[in-house]
Amino acid sequence: VMIEAVENHMPETIVIDEIGTELEALAAGTIAQRGVQLVGTAHGMTIESIIKNPSLQSLVGGVE
């Protein structure tokens, strides 16, 4: 749905509440690569738990 919104409406910014699955993270990454500003939330007990979440690592830069 996120990618369809970008394709059909060409927004400058998209706000997404609770990116939680790998599919949502991939869609968000695709949107960002198309030049659309992305603002999103992700739920976690700590910032570390979000960074270490395998589904979200592509959006937050991963862990080294």
Q: Over the stretch 9-51, which tens digit does the pLDDT of each residue have?
A: 999 999 999 998 989 999 998 998 999 999 999 988 998 888 8
**pTM, rounded to two decimals:** 0.77
> Confidence band (pLDDT; 50, 70, 90) for 1?
confident
> Confidence band (pLDDT; 50, 70, 90) for 64?
low
pLDDT at 39: 92
CA distance 7 to 58: 22
Reference 56, options 14, 13, 23; nearest CA is: 23
pLDDT at 45: 92
User: For the chain, what is the total number of helices (H) and then of strands (E)?
Assistant: 4, 2
Residue 16 is classified by DSSP as: E
Q: E strands along the chain, which residues?
A: 13-16, 37-40
